[in-house]
Amino acid sequence: MPANPVTIGSFACGRGRPLVFIAGPCVIESEELVMHVARRLAEEAARLDVPLVFKSSFDKANRTSIHSFRGPGLEKGLGILARVKQETGLPVTTDIHEASQAAPAAEVCDILQIPAFLARQTDLVHAAAEATARRGGVINAKKPQFIAPEDAVHIVRKCEEAGNPNVLLTERGTTFGYGRLVNDMRSIPIMHSLGTPVVYDATHSVQTPGGATTGGQRQMIAPLARAAVAAGADAVFFETHPDPDRALSDGPNMIPLDELPALVASLVKLRNLVNGML
């Protein structure tokens, strides 16, 4: 059986535990930007007394256009994430796209994230599970947009068979026709029934795929996040940026950094209500 709660650094995520937050800019645009956001998030996490994991990508390999910004690459990106961890004390996570990236990323990151489009790639999932098992880390697998939530059990089983029961499953919307994602909040209790803690990705869920670049409905982040926490999500994932409209990736669906603390505080209150009812 998968672990629940799952230990991440000095805290735990899962059944009956405080709400965990995963947050950061979509992609590592620069070391300066990443450190600015990480320090601000660390300050707010301490002020609000919430567990928080810093997230940013060293490579956005799944961009729509070949001309879109992708990031600094594996070596430089992991160096920046290692600095975030050292200077802020926050656990860190990033996504990997190839099996060869798992081992070096697991040396730095507390959580390895499997992108939704790649979560059925057995070699990638196995490599992530093996690498994180060696380092005492965690896998966060995003449920693909094209599968039913109960079918995420196969991702969990692959991780367990590769030696790591410390798995998070993330709900990030389901494809509904062209250019639209919808959230079926039944996914949260269904994936809970598989034994894992469940994360809700509040920013990718509001994407509007299609065209040369992906759009988004930023105004829907807060109501959907509240609905997910009410449905029992154990963690909420936000991509955030000081100026999303100038971001180099996923700007339309990122929450402005200045707006995040108030939303976090409201979600903590809601989580406490949910925990009190269980």
**Mean pLDDT to the nearest integer, 224-236:** 97
Give CA torsion, residues 90, 97, 190, 136, to 10 deg: -40
Residue with the bigger pLDDT between 212 and 147: it is 147
Distance, CA of 170 to CA of 188 (rounded, Å): 9
Q: Examine residue 158 and state whether it is found in any structural domain, yes or no.
A: yes
DSSP string covering 70-83, please?
--S-HHHHHHHHHH
**Predicted pLDDT of residue 277:** 67
> Does an H or E element contain 192, and which?
helix 187-192
Share of the chain above pLDDT 70, in %: 95
Q: Is the pLDDT of residue 164 over 90?
A: yes
Q: Residue 161 belongs to a domain with what CATH number?
A: 3.20.20.70
108 is written with which tokens?
């730095």
Tens-place pLDDT, residues 93-110:
999 999 999 999 999 999
Q: Examine residue 250 and state whether it is found in any structural domain, yes or no.
A: yes
**Predicted pLDDT of residue 178:** 81
pTM of the model: 0.95
Distance, CA of 266 to CA of 275 (rounded, Å): 15
**Predicted pLDDT of residue 212:** 54
Domain coverage including residue 34? 6-271
Structural domain count of the chain: 1
Q: Examine residue 220 and state whether it is found in any structural domain, yes or no.
A: yes
**Predicted pLDDT of residue 70:** 83
**Mean pLDDT to the nearest integer, 115-141:** 97
**Mean pLDDT to the nearest integer, 196-218:** 81
Q: Examine residue 277 and state whether it is found in any structural domain, yes or no.
A: no
**Mean pLDDT to the nearest integer, 64-93:** 90
Q: List, in sequence order, every residue forming a beta bridge with 138; answer none if it has no partner.
A: 111
Q: Examine residue 276 and state whether it is found in any structural domain, yes or no.
A: no
Share of the chain above pLDDT 90, in %: 82
* 125 contacts 102 by C-beta, under 8 angstroms: no
**Predicted pLDDT of residue 180:** 84
The number of residues in the chain equals 278
Picking from 180, 177, 215, 181, the residue whose alpha carbon sits closest to that of residue 201 is 181
**Predicted pLDDT of residue 112:** 98
